[in-house]
Structures are given as C-alpha cells and as structure tokens.
Amino acid sequence: MAGYGTTELSCKSCGAPLRRESGATATTCPYCGTAHVTKLPADELSITVYEPDAVKGGKPAALKTIAIMMLIAGIYNLLNAVGWLVVGLCFVIVGVIFTITPALYCGIVGTSEIIYGAKLLAERPDIRTPPYGISVLGVTSLLFSSIVPAILETINLVLMSDTEVKEYLSSN
C-alpha cells in the first residue's frame, strides 16, 4: 500500500512496482531503468513510457539520415566513375585521357562517402566531428555530372549544422 502522498504504479517494461511521489511528474524503474513520465489530466493518471536509450540521448535521427544519404551518394558516385571509364574506353586513347580525371575523382569521393556513411551508421561512430569535407567533395562532384550526390550532400551539410548531431559526435 502506498504511503501518504505517493502513488503506486507498475513499470510498463518489466512490470516491477513503481512509486511516484505526490507532485512528481517522472520516475525511473529501479529494476530496468526505464523512465516514466506521468501526466495528470483532470480525471485520470496516464503514463508515457520512454525507452532508456531515448532518455539517455540515443543517436539523433538527423545523423542516421546523413549516413544513409552519404551511402547513397557514394554508391551513385562509384557508378558515375564506372560510367566515365566506359565512355573513355569507347573513345579509346583520347577518351581515356579526358575521362580518367572524372572517373578517379568520382571513384575516390564515392569510396570516401561509403566509408564515412558506414562509420556514421555504427552503434558508436568513431568520428568526432561531422564529415564536412566529404560532403563538400560530394557537392563538387557536380562538376562531373553527379547531380544526385551533389543534392544529397548539400542536404547533409545543412543537417550537419544541427547542434544535436555535433554534440552526439563530440560525446563519443
């Protein structure tokens, strides 16, 4: 039985008993660590359950978006590099001379985008700051007909300026 000024509830995750002091709007399960935020509408008490990772500051959604768009841009740039090589081979010597630069550039940028995108998707990325340089290179691949990566990396540059993304990466 609850004492004066307390309300007994049960944890929505593990079922353990919870105690909420009168006037308190939050409590944490002492067994599983799940945070519970209580709301007191006029007629009843309702509980909202938050997963522990979300409460402790899980990976920001913007960071996942950046990683996925970086992977897509990288794959597209690698395909673009192959396209440049095929065009160069079709026109033999003169074509190879004029297409080797865009092929190398798109290939290197695409590979870098894939590597950094995969690192950002990891549980705990080993990157301390947003990869602005990779995104800038992705934007400049527009010079070699890589329109989709340029658009995706421009969006990534905007998302990388989010303080939540910067704080998450610097805390790792």
- Rounded to whole angstroms, the Cα distance separating 95 from 89 reads 7
Pick the last residue of a domain from 21, 36, 56. 56
Query: Is 111 within the bounds of a domain?
Result: yes
Same structural domain for residues 159 and 100?
A: yes
Residue 118 and residue 139 share a domain: yes
Asked if the model's pLDDT at residue 79 lies above 90, the reply is yes
pLDDT (tens digit per residue) in 6-55: 566 788 878 888 776 666 667 788 888 887 776 554 444 455 554 444 44
Please tell me the total count of domains within the chain.
2
Q: How far apart are CA 166 and CA 151, in angstroms?
A: 21
Whether residue 71 sits in one domain with residue 10: no
Instruction: Measure Cα distances from 47 to 5, 14, 32, 37, 170 in Å.
Output: 18, 14, 16, 6, 33
Q: pLDDT tens across 91-126, in order?
A: 877 777 788 888 999 999 999 999 999 999 888 888
Residue 147 contacts residue 45 (beta carbons within 8 Å): no
Identify the domain boundary among 56, 74, 90. 56
Tell me: pLDDT of 162 over 80.
yes
Do 28 and 107 fall within a single domain?
A: no
